[in-house]
Structure 1
């Protein structure tokens, strides 16, 4: 497999540096996945723009992390699973719910379970979701606009999940306790 570089703030292409700086400010570091994404200024800048929309939406940080973790597991993307496991716990998701998502089970929390089920169905069925999944989602207290917002989160995580699967960036020490294999 081809070796993809993991760029730093110093070594990244000039057009990728503003996005890397934004991610460094958000996370207190440049995650290795961002360093890999930086190999394409269009990709890294697109990602940062989409993630601003994700984090500026109506979901809580714990809900966003549950979606991102579900997406990473469904896309079998090891680096993002470890990263979003760590962030989900930091955002207040229970260890049991994080573990359930990592094991492709529904979390105990009904609203988190509805988010996870919808995200998984969207990915596995390429957007063709049964009415029952949407009805369950709405029954958990969400509305149709939130269905569309879940699609935004799926779109955002697709960029990092696919990049992780192709570039295979190394996992940082701080996330090693959450390492995962498909």
Structure 2
């Protein structure tokens, strides 16, 4: 378990109370990773701003956003985030077979979701040094040049939450625990 405090709006620094309240309103609870990030107002503020732009101003639909975030969580081997984004993926309409494939580290059968998964994997594995062929494959699945850069936003958001959760190893929330995952579950681990 964690030795870092998982904050709520009641225990956090004044500068991060509003983001935590907004997250609690959206999810019904303060996700553990956000509660941990509240130990650093800079980290939580950066995450909250980036996530707000990604969710509110981005061009991906809710299901596509979750495929990106779940793919990142698996690639980063973040047990907390995989469980959390499994729940969110299913709630946002991602087909269960797609969710299961991503959790296993396998290419989803749905071609559009497979393109999101593959491009995300390529960005993480190559630290952004993807070749033109990978960008072309992503775009040939119907995605835009703008969305190439939006995937980078998802990778950055995920790095903040995944690294925080990997460092602190919080327990899963009750609503998330049915979707527990370990890195050994993934064929890519």
| TM bracket, shorter-chain basis | over 0.9
User: Any gaps of 5 or more consecutive residues in structure 2?
Assistant: 184-189
Map Cα deviations across residues 60-115 of structure 1 (whole Å, 9 max, x no partner): 00000000000000001110000000000001111110010011111111111101
Aligned twin of 1:58: 59
The aligned runs of 1:95-174 (5 Å cut-off) are: 95-174=96-175
The aligned runs of 1:53-92 (5 Å cut-off) are: 53-56=53-56, 57-92=58-93
Q: CA RMSD in A?
A: 1.2
Cα shift at 1:3: 1.2
Aligned twin of 2:46: 46
Cα shift at 1:131: 2.2
Change (3 A) 1:170 1:72: same
Q: What is the DSSP-based 3-state SS (H/G/I as helix, E as strand, rest coil) of the residue aligned with 2:128?
A: coil
Aligned twin of 2:25: 25
Map Cα deviations across residues 158-178 of structure 1 (whole Å, 9 max, x no partner): 100100000111101111111
Distance 2:105 2:130 in 1: 18
Cα shift at 1:44: 0.7
Distance 1:130 1:7 in 2: 41
Distance 2:4 2:48 in 1: 20
Which segment drifts farther, 74-83 or 140-149? Answer: 140-149
User: Any gaps of 5 or more consecutive residues in structure 1?
Assistant: none
